Amino acid sequence: VERELKTEHLQDNAGGISRAAELLRAGALVSFPTETVYGLGANATDDRAVARIFEAKGRPHFNPLIVHLPSVDAVSEYAELSGITHDLAHAFWPGPLTLVLPLKPNGPLSALVSAGLPTVAVRVPAHALAQKVLEAAGVPVAAPSANPSGRISPSTAQHVLDGLSGRIEAVLDGGPCGVGVESTIVGIEPTPVLLRPGGLPVEALEAALGAPLAVRGDGAAINAPGQMTSHYAPNAQMRLNAERVLEGERLLGFGPVDAALNLSPSGDLVEAAANLFGFLHRLDAEGDAPIAVSPIPDHGLGRAINDRLRRAAAPRD
Ligand code: TXA
Ligand code: MG
As a whole number of angstroms, the distance between CA 286 and CA 276 comes to 16
Beta carbons within 8 Å of 26's beta carbon, 6+ residues apart = none
Q: Report pTM.
A: 0.92
- ipTM greater than 0.85: yes
pLDDT at residue 227, rounded to an integer? 53
Ligand showing the shortest atom-to-Cα distance for residue 197: 1
With CA atoms as reference, report the closest residue to 174 among 32, 8, 22, 17.
32
Give the distance (Å) from ligand 1 centre to CA of residue 64.
Answer: 7
Find out whether the beta carbon of 36 lies less than 6 Å from any atom of ligand 1: yes
DSSP of 262-302, one letter per residue? ES-TT--HHHHHHHHHHHHHHHHHH--S-EEE----SSTTH
Backbone angles phi, psi at 121, to 5 degrees: -85, 130
Domain residue limits, the chain = 8-221, 238-313
As a whole number of angstroms, the distance between CA 31 and CA 17 comes to 12
Which tens digit of pLDDT belongs to each residue from 128-138?
999 999 999 99
CATH superfamily of 238-313: Threonylcarbamoyl-AMP synthase, C-terminal domain (3.40.50.11030)
Find out whether the beta carbon of 37 lies less than 6 Å from any atom of ligand 1: yes
**Domain 8-221 in this protein, CATH class:** alpha beta
pLDDT at residue 316, rounded to an integer? 65
As a whole number of angstroms, the distance between CA 208 and CA 224 comes to 28
As a whole number of angstroms, the distance between CA 217 and CA 227 comes to 11
Nearest C-alpha to atom 7 of ligand 1 is from which residue? 39
pLDDT at residue 180, rounded to an integer? 97
Backbone angles phi, psi at 30, to 5 degrees: -130, 120
- Per the CB < 8 A criterion, the answer to whether 159 and 277 are in contact is yes
Counting as low any pLDDT under 50, the low residues of the chain are: 218-226
Ligand showing the shortest atom-to-Cα distance for residue 39: 1
238-313 has the same fold as 8-221: no
pLDDT at residue 9, rounded to an integer? 98
Which residues participate in the annotated binding site for ATP?
A: 59, 63, 119, 143, 145, 153, 196, 232
pLDDT at residue 79, rounded to an integer? 98
pLDDT at residue 230, rounded to an integer? 55
pLDDT at residue 219, rounded to an integer? 43
